[in-house]
Every structure is written in structure tokens, then in C-alpha cells.
Amino acid sequence: MQALSKKYGKSIAQICIRWSLQRGYLPLPKSVTPARIKENTEVFDFELEVEDVRLIADLKGCVGYSPDPDTIIW
């Protein structure tokens, strides 16, 4: 994620929001910090390349991979 942040010149949060939008998801970012709220809206001036969208989709979490969040053992 850090490499993508540098590549696009955006924060990791912005990369995640943009990824969600490109996948057709409705992101619901939350912040009480005015600067972060503004940053969260600045995701419409770039688009992730197809390879980068796939790269994020294929990331594995620290608890392993599960396509169904209800099956993850927390």
C-alpha cells in the first residue's frame, strides 16, 4: 500500500477509498479531523490502474484470506 501511495501521490486512505469506488462499493470513511475529512473527498482526480486494483483485491490479511468475513477467525 505504501508503494501505491507513492506511485499515485495519495495517502493510503485515499487509495483505499478510490479502490472501493472503482470496485462499485460505497466507502464510508470516518474521521473527526477536518484535514482528513477533506482528504477523504479528494479521490476523484485519479484512477487506479487495473493491475493495482487487482493487487489490492489479492492482498492477504494478517489472519489469512477468506472471501467471506463471517468465516474469519478473529
| Cβ burial 7-38 (10 Å sphere, 16+ → b, else e) | ebebbebbbbbbbbeeeeeeeeeeeeeeeeee
Task: Read off the pLDDT band of 33 (50, 70, 90).
Answer: very high
**pLDDT(69) > 90:** no
Give the mean pLDDT of 20-30. Answer: 93
Average pLDDT value for residue range 55-60: 88
Q: pTM of the entire structure?
A: 0.80
Half-sphere exposure of 32 (CA within 13 A, CB side): 0
pLDDT of residue 60: 76
For residues 55-68, average pLDDT? 72
